[in-house]
């Protein structure tokens, strides 16, 4: 669309879904495989209201809009530069009536949204604990990857507040924090119902975990078969090609 202005070093990438595209800044804000996998793992029914926490450049709401019949999707992002890119991507795809991007702090989410107002919440949060080893903790990539401006507890507690009873929460994270993730979810009455470990190669350790939890659900979790990203170096697995179009 003619009114979309790209800023310095930004680019437009094809998402290979419904003709949708996204604005990215390769030095600051680019989505990764984890966001794509989360959008494929998550589900929303017709008429659902969906919230994506830590939305970044809006990749998950845009991909979720392409694959579901959700009534409306909202992305919450604390970094204004990233949120601005997300808004322009929404406009680029003509999705202004389906997707809203809100700039704000996840720790104050209750002041932006009513309690128990969403059917589905998704989140691809910062994975790394604290600021250990960071030379510039204010850099956009550092904020996206490290728990500088929000923690796992912030994500889980706000999800429990904003999700309707029986609503579904979809999370992608790192396996090394699995015990903490499960503990936090259960403490906030978000019962883990489905889990899938993601492996870069069939003979390597998992480097991601996808989890679905239900607010107020009964205690029973299904562990799905492993998801393998690469069949060999540079060659995606059959499932990745079929489900995600790589």
What domains are defined for the chain? 11-244 (3.40.50.150)
Q: Which residues pair with 121 in a beta bridge?
A: 51, 169
pLDDT over 90 at 142, yes or no: no
pLDDT at site 1? 47
**Out of 58-62, 205-209, 242-246, least confident range:** 242-246
Mean pLDDT computed over 209-237 = 95
Per the model's pLDDT, the better-predicted residue between 147 and 40 turns out to be 40
pLDDT at site 5? 84
End-to-end CA distance of the chain: 26
pLDDT over 50 at 124, yes or no: yes
pLDDT digits (tens, 9 = 90+) for 92-106: 999 999 999 999 999
Phi, psi of 221 (to 5 degrees): -120, 135
Alpha carbon distance 91, 71 (integer Å): 17
Tell if the pTM clears 0.85, that is, is over it: yes
Mean pLDDT computed over 133-144 = 52
Structure tokens at 187: 């403490």
Alpha carbon distance 51, 223 (integer Å): 25
Alpha carbon distance 230, 57 (integer Å): 26
Structure tokens at 42: 């998550």
């Amino acid at each position: 669309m003619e009114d979309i202005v790209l800023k310095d070093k930004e680019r437009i990438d094809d998402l290979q879904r419904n003709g949708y595209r996204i604005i990215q800044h390769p030095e600051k804000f680019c989505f990764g495989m984890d966001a794509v996998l989360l959008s494929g793992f998550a589900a929303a029914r017709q008429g659902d209201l969906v919230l994506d926490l830590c939305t970044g450049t809006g990749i998950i709401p845009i991909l979720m809009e392409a694959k579901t019949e959700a009534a409306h999707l909202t992305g919450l992002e604390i970094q204004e530069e990233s949120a601005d890119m997300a808004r322009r991507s929404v406009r680029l795809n003509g999705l202004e009536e389906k997707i809203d991007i809100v700039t704000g702090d996840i720790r104050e989410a209750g002041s932006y949204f009513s309690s128990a107002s969403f059917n589905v919440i998704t989140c691809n949060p910062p994975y790394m604990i604290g600021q250990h080893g960071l030379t510039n903790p204010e850099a956009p990539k550092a904020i996206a990857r490290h728990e500088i401006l929000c923690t796992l507890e912030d994500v889980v507690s706000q999800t429990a507040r904003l999700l309707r009873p029986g609503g579904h929460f979809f999370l992608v994270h790192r396996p090394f924090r699995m015990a903490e993730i499960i503990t936090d979810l259960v403490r906030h009455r978000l019962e883990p119902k489905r889990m899938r470990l993601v492996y870069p190669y069939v003979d390597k350790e998992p480097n991601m975990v996808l989890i679905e939890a239900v607010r107020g659900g009964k205690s029973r979790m299904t562990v799905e078969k492993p998801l393998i990203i690469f069949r060999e170096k540079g060659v995606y697995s059959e499932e990745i090609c079929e489900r995600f179009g790589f």
